[in-house]
């Protein structure tokens, strides 16, 4: 009690106003999340009469039951987990290997290879030519189209390379005398030294895959290959394909009830992110600082 | 001389041979960039061709700048260019300074724990996709049941169909961008402010400066180079007005105020018209300008960071 009183003794008007402002910012940041969670468990009548919703009327699962009537959602969840796990693994393998090669200072042609990677950050073929390439590879309507075209982020690779470059070269020279191969050095010496950077960049990729939807819009044709984000996107765009799948009986379609269903969809899409958020956010912050201050 | 050249060549070849394992490791990465980055760049040639699917990119006939002149004659293209510039300018005006103000005010908080909590909360929206964010915005703005409509009604107004109203569309883009990006963009400023020498603050306090004066004369000058760099980068990105956001929010009724260059490329090239050459031409137009801007702005920011004298 003494401590608290002491803490506030130096507070002026500005401190109270500022604290209030920060509280408001916090509420504004959180309220949309709170609203969709509350609405997803409420009855439509409750949502409608309360407007600025603060609590649900009980724990109603009607919205969840409705979206789970068809096996679209378990399938979409499986697809999302697949592209997140397989995608992150592939992205990390390519990024680490590429970053390591570019960090070998004695490599003839290193500058040219670095430019080969970096140039793609400045200039690209764009949407249509990339679509034509993916199409000609026969990847359209395959889950691989959601992984391969975006598998490497040149930015992440350069970030990783900068980190590897800071590891003293003596380490490799010492290991080389023991007859270690390049791959052996990368796996057994370099990687154990870089767990924090690897965690950070893996998280960048993983959240990117989990949240990606636009590749699905362009490349995916059949519903059984939809991801959660794509399902949500279709729901928001009012796709008839999805409505037909969710309602057996066209008469059931009720625009208002759709609102609680949308909220339920949003909630199950973001739940994994919300669960891991407290644990991973500090890695992201670290990543931003490394990327922007060292660039 | 020939002996020296031979030696050098030999040495280079030996170096290359010594690094054969590295080249082998790099091969998959090299191929990935060749297929997914450089092959599409070759595909840009269809901007100058009469593209026929059956003939493919290589065998289609060259038509010079026909696709470009047709693109400029399409009234949607100049409109998209103007929309892009307007939306980017609005975002520069509002979405750029707000994270700086937030970072400064957050730094002035006296309770460390609360400061941490506010900051952690502020970048939560960055971690959801624009598909989710647009869903939330649409729900909050729902004209019949949404909380915004309820507030408007409480003040005696009549709720509109905000999401589909051209009058509100750009406002919604800017506000939702602030909501989603403010905390994340502020991280770098918060870090920079933490790096400002504490002795400068003490000296200013001894000189009788109040908090506002300290912010103006100590904090902001301490982070001005990082502000300058971020601003230059933002200007360099002026033609990228966040496709993800626009794509999720725009509708047939808001297209005339909300269609950006990226969206034009998507709509004409992939979605409705499937006009590959025009879509490619528009994309190329945007990429070339973007490329020049990025090179220019990179150079300026290098000058700012290396040559301290500029300030």
CB contact (8 A) between residue B33 and residue A281: no
* A183 and A46 in a common domain: no
CB atoms closer than 10 angstroms to residue B28: 14
CA distance B145 to A38: 14
Containing structural domain, residue A226: 68-294
Of A154, A134, A165, A152, nearest to A93 by C-alpha is: A152
Note down pLDDT in tens along chain B; length 311 residues: 455 667 888 989 999 998 999 999 999 999 999 999 999 999 999 999 888 878 888 888 888 898 999 899 999 999 999 999 999 999 999 999 999 999 999 998 888 899 999 999 999 999 999 999 999 999 999 888 889 988 998 898 888 889 989 999 999 999 999 999 999 999 999 988 988 888 888 888 888 888 888 889 899 988 988 898 888 888 888 998 789 999 999 988 999 999 999 999 999 988 877 789 999 999 999 999 989 998 888 788 777 766 433 33
Residue contact B123–A281, C-beta within 8 A: yes
**Which candidate from B128, B136, B137 shows the least CB-CB separation from A211?**
B128
- Per residue in B209-255, pLDDT tens? 888 888 898 999 889 888 988 888 888 889 987 899 999 999 889 99
Strand, helix or coil for residue B95: coil
Among A31, A60, A89, identify where a domain stops.
Answer: A60
**Rg of chain B over CA atoms, in angstroms?**
26
Nearest to A153 by CA among A103, A195, A209: A209
The answer to whether residues A54 and A97 belong to one domain is no
In whole angstroms, give the CA distance from residue A227 to residue A93: 23
Same domain, A106 and A186: yes
Q: Of A11, A40, A60, which residue is a domain's last?
A: A60
**What b/e sequence results for B36-54 when a residue is b if at least 16 CB atoms lie within 10 Å of its CB, and e otherwise?**
bbbbbbebbbbbbbebeee
Determine how many CB atoms are found less than 10 A away from the CB of residue A151: 20
Cβ-defined contacts of B149-153 (< 8 Å, 24+) = B149/A51, B150/A50, B150/A51, B150/A52, B151/A51, B151/A52, B153/A51
Please list the residue range(s) of chain B that carry CATH number 1.10.3720.10.
70-310
pTM over 0.80: yes
Are residues A84 and A40 part of one domain? no
Q: How many domains does chain A have?
A: 2
Indicate whether A261 and A182 sit together in one domain.
yes
Spatial contact of B163 and B251, defined as CB atoms under 8 Å apart: yes
- Chain A nearest CA to B5, separation (Å): 17
Q: Which residues of B touch A289 (CB under 8 A)?
A: 187-188, 191
Any alpha helices (H) in B1-111, and if so which ranges? 2-18, 20-33, 39-43, 56-59, 66-73, 76-94, 97-107
Let me know if A289 is exposed, middle or buried by CB neighbors in 10 A (0-12, 13-18, 19+). middle
Q: Which of A18, A32, A234, A256 to mutate to test the interface with B (most CBs of B within 10 A)?
A: A32
Q: Which residues contact B243 (CB under 8 A, 6 or more apart)?
A: A214, B260, B262, B263, B266
Helix B66-73 crosses helix B276-306 at what angle (to 10 degrees)? 90
- Gap from A161 CA to chain B (nearest CA, Å): 13
- Do β-strands B61-62 and B49-50 pair in parallel, antiparallel, or remain unpaired? antiparallel
Selecting from B18, B36, B144 the residue whose C-beta is nearest the C-beta of A149 gives B36
pLDDT, position B310: 31
Q: Which residues pair with B49 in a beta bridge?
A: B62
Termini Cα distance of chain A: 47
Closest CA of chain B from A31, distance in Å: 10
The four Cα atoms A248, A254, A255, A261 give a dihedral, to 10 degrees, of -60
CA distances A291 to A70, A140, A173, B212, Å, are 44, 34, 29, 31
Whether residue A48 is found in the same domain as residue A82: no
- Match 């269609």 to its residue by tokens: B259
| Distance in Å, alpha carbon of A267 to nearest chain B alpha carbon | 9
Bridge partners of B50, per DSSP, are B61
Q: What distance in Å separates the CA atoms of residue B6 and residue B265, rounded to the nearest whole number?
A: 53
**CB within 8 Å of A276: residues ≥ 6 apart:** none
Q: Are residues A186 and A144 part of one domain?
A: yes
Query: Given the structure tokens 């042609």, which residue do they identify?
Result: A109
Alpha-carbon gap, residue A41 to A35, rounded angstroms:
10
Are A270 and A151 in a shared domain?
yes
Report the CATH number at residue A211: 1.10.3720.10
**CATH code of domain B70-310:** 1.10.3720.10
A24 confidence band (pLDDT: 50, 70, 90): very high
Give tens-digit pLDDT for B29-63. 999 999 999 999 999 999 998 888 788 888 888 88
Spatial distance between the Cα atoms of B267 and B214, rounded to a whole number of angstroms: 51
Whole-number Å distance between alpha carbons of A146 and A217: 10
Helix (H, G, I), strand (E, B) or coil at B49: strand
Helical axes B224-236 vs B166-194, angle rounded to 10° = 140
3-state secondary structure of A11: coil
Q: Taking the CA atoms of chain A, what radius of gyration do you get in angstroms? A: 25
Compute CA A157 distance to the chain's CA centroid, rounded to the nearest angstrom.
17
Of the three residues A34, A60, A86, the one that is the final residue of a domain is: A60
> Least CB-CB distance to A128: which of B106, B140, B265?
B265
Rounded Cα distance, B30 and B87, in Å: 37
- Check A128 against B32: CB less than 8 A apart: no
Helices (H), chain A: 2-9, 13-40, 44-50, 62-67, 72-103, 110-122, 127-136, 154-165, 170-177, 182-185, 191-193, 195-211, 214-219, 228-236, 240-246, 255-294
Q: Do B26 and A128 touch (CB under 8 A)?
A: no
DSSP class of B253: T
d(CA B293, CA B237): 8
Does B265 contact A116 at a Cβ distance shorter than 8 Å? Answer: no
Q: Is A239 strand, coil or helix?
A: coil
Report the pLDDT value the prediction gives residue A151, as an integer from 0 to 100.
97
Indicate the DSSP class of residue A148: G
Residue found by looking up tokens 């009724």 in the block: B253
What tokens does B294 get?
């990025």
| ipTM metric | 0.89
Give the integer Cα–Cα distance in Å for B232 and B236: 6
């Amino acid at each position: 009690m003494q401590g608290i009183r002491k803490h506030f003794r130096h507070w002026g008007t500005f401190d109270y106003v500022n604290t209030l402002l920060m509280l408001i910012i916090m509420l504004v940041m959180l309220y949309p999340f709170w609203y969709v969670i509350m609405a997803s468990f409420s009855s439509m009548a409750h949502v409608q009469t309360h407007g600025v919703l603060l609590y649900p009327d009980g724990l109603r699962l009607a919205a969840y039951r409705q979206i789970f009537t068809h096996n679209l959602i378990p399938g979409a969840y499986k697809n999302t987990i697949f592209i997140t796990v397989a995608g992150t693994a592939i992205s990390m393998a390519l990024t680490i290997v590429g970053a390591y090669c570019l960090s070998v200072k004695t490599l003839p042609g290193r500058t040219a290879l670095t430019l080969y990677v970096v140039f793609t950050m400045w200039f690209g073929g764009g949407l249509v030519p990339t679509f034509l390439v993916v199409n000609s590879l026969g990847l359209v309507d395959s889950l691989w189209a959601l992984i391969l075209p975006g598998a490497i982020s040149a930015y992440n690779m350069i970030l990783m390379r900068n980190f590897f470059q800071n590891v003293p070269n003596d380490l490799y020279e010492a290991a080389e005398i023991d007859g270690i191969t390049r791959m052996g050095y990368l796996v057994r010496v370099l990687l154990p030294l870089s767990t924090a950077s690897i965690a950070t960049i893996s998280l960048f990729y993983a959240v990117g895959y989990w949240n990606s939807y636009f590749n699905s819009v362009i490349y995916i044709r059949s519903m059984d290959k939809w991801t959660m984000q794509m399902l949500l996107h279709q729901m928001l765009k009012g796709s008839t394909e999805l409505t037909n799948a969710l309602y057996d009986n066209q008469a059931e379609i009720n625009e208002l009830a759709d609102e609680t269903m949308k909220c339920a969809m949003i909630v199950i899409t973001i739940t994994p992110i919300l669960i891991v958020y407290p644990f991973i956010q500090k890695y992201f912050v670290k990543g931003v600082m490394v990327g922007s201050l060292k660039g | 001389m020939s002996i020296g050249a031979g030696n050098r060549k030999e040495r280079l070849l030996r170096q290359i041979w010594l690094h054969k394992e590295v080249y082998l490791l790099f091969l998959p990465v090299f191929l990935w960039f060749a297929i997914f980055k450089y092959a599409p760049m070759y595909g840009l040639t269809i901007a100058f061709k009469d593209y026929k699917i059956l003939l493919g990119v290589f065998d289609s006939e060259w038509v010079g700048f026909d696709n470009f002149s047709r693109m400029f004659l399409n009234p949607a293209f100049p409109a998209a260019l103007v929309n892009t510039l307007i939306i980017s300018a609005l975002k520069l005006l509002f979405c750029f300074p707000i994270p700086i103000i937030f970072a400064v005010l957050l730094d002035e908080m006296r309770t460390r724990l609360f400061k941490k909590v506010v900051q952690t909360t502020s970048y939560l929206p960055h971690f959801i996709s624009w598909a989710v964010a647009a869903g939330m915005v649409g729900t909050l703005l729902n004209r019949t049941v949404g909380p915004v409509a309820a507030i408007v009604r409480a003040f005696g107004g009549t709720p509109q169909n905000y999401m589909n109203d051209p009058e509100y569309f750009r406002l919604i883009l800017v506000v939702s961008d602030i909501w989603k990006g403010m905390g994340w963009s502020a991280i770098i400023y918060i870090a920079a402010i933490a790096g400002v020498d504490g002795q400068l603050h003490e000296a200013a306090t001894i000189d009788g400066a109040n908090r506002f004066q300290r912010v103006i004369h100590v904090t902001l000058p301490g982070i001005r180079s990082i502000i300058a760099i971020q601003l230059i980068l933002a200007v360099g990105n002026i033609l990228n007005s966040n496709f993800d956001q626009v794509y999720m929010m725009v509708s047939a009724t808001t297209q005339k105020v909300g269609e950006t260059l990226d969206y034009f490329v998507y709509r004409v090239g992939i979605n409705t018209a499937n006009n590959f050459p025009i879509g490619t031409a528009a994309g190329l137009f945007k990429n070339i300008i973007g490329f020049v801007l990025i090179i220019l702005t990179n150079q300026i920011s290098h000058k700012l960071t290396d040559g301290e004298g500029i300030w």
